[in-house]
Amino acid sequence: MKAKQTVYVNEFTNGIHDPNKEMLGPVQDGVHIILLQTPLGITVPEVMNRATITGSIEIGRHPGVVTITFLAPTHYLDKVGLTELIKEQYQRSLDS
């Protein structure tokens, strides 16, 4: 398989690697990864804005690892069914 210069990511994988799915790479150094969808269904510019204002963008030690955090409005969490899970997790933290 020839190394790619550009990779398109069109689905959220939640960090799960599935050996039964087609591999996106290998990729060349300096690859361009084009994100076509975000986990909450919001636009990439909105993610960038929210990360700048209420979150962070961290570059990992391993090549290609980037972590983006931001405060997400509950209506986005409702759309993907995460609101109750997050409320439960934070309540546990407050109770300890």
pLDDT over 80 at 56, yes or no: yes
Beta strands at 66-69 and 56-59: parallel, antiparallel or unpaired: antiparallel
Mean pLDDT of the chain: 76
pLDDT category at 11 given cuts 50, 70, 90 is low
Per-residue confidence (pLDDT) for residue 59, from 0 to 100: 86
Sign of the Cα torsion 2, 18, 86, 63 reads negative
